[in-house]
Amino acid sequence: MKIELILTADSIKTERVKGKATVAIDTFRATSTILTALAQGAKEVIPALSVEEALSYKNTLSDVIIAGERKGEKVEGLDLGNSPVEYQEQQIQDKSLVLTTTNGTKLLLNLSSARRILIAAFLNLSSIAKAVKGEKELIICCAGSRGEFSLEDFLTAGALIYKLKGLKSDLKLSDLSLVAYQNYLTNQGQLAKVLKESEHGRRLLALNKEADIDYALQQDALFLVPSYSEGVISCKRKSLENSF
Ligand code: MLT
């Protein structure tokens, strides 16, 4: 299996991902939130680029929750923000969640030409590794933050490669994938410490969102493999092994 890595949503080129199997990562916090919403029983998640677009679903869908952040904070007028720890089963179960975030939703929309788009974070790495192990070629796509490299997504990509190495012996890593893997090996015992010192980690700490960081760093707390197709993220297998 050949593995490539793209560092930011903004650097995804349609032609590069067209027809390919991809994994989308926005660990802080969009993909962690999407996974949590689905684990809590949301019917589907619909990414929307703008707050206006997200709100427009109020007119077209019944049983809908509109959520999202700008500058890390819940947008006024929306039902929820982008803190995975705030997503509760009683509010979200059997609802459609429309989510608009700064980088994560852009990442998904920029991947639209791919053949397969799976949603990953530390929360579901083993499930994702098992789901992609039959692919000949995989492109791991990080959201990054505001067009820049983001360490938490890079380390999540490295951790996914680590899981894949446990399942397959024939990995051919691009140089960037190799560095992500090596960086994960170096930091795997101190992820919380390292990522609380990262730029995105510091921004979340400044917003009193440390619980989101700790939650998002739980490896394999969820066993689900959501995929994004035709504008909707859904998931066949759902279960929430550990509650939080
Ligand atoms: C994003 O999509 O930009 C994020 O998930 C940002 C955040 O909520 O911290």
State the Cα angle at 160 between 123 and 86, rounded to 5°.
20
Confidence at residue 146, expressed as pLDDT on a 0 to 100 scale: 87
> Residue 54 is part of which domain span?
2-228
**Do 222 and 39 touch, CB atoms closer than 8 A?**
yes
- Asked, for residue 67, whether it belongs to a domain, the answer is yes
In the chain, the number of structural domains is 1
- Asked, for residue 69, whether it belongs to a domain, the answer is yes
Question: If you measure from the C-alpha of residue 107 to the centroid of ligand 1, how many angstroms do you get, rounded to a whole number?
Answer: 11
Average pLDDT of the residues in 29-40: 98
Please check the confidence at residue 212 and state whether its pLDDT lies above 50. Answer: yes
Give 75's DSSP letter.
P
Task: Give the pTM.
Answer: 0.95
Please check the confidence at residue 96 and state whether its pLDDT lies above 60. Answer: yes
Question: If you measure from the C-alpha of residue 32 to the centroid of ligand 1, how many angstroms do you get, rounded to a whole number?
Answer: 10
Average pLDDT of the residues in 156-181: 97
Q: Which amino acid is at 110?
A: N
- Residues at CB less than 6 angstroms from ligand 1: 26, 28-30, 69, 72, 82, 101-104, 143
- Asked, for residue 142, whether it belongs to a domain, the answer is yes
Cα separation of 99 and 44, whole Å? 10
Please check the confidence at residue 159 and state whether its pLDDT lies above 60. Answer: yes
- Asked, for residue 217, whether it belongs to a domain, the answer is yes
- Asked, for residue 239, whether it belongs to a domain, the answer is no
Q: pLDDT tier at 239 (50, 70, 90 boundaries)?
A: very low
Instruction: Report residue 102: phi and psi, to 5°.
Output: -70, -50
Please check the confidence at residue 48 and state whether its pLDDT lies above 50. Answer: yes
**Do 33 and 39 touch, CB atoms closer than 8 A?**
no
Question: If you measure from the C-alpha of residue 21 to the centroid of ligand 1, how many angstroms do you get, rounded to a whole number?
Answer: 23
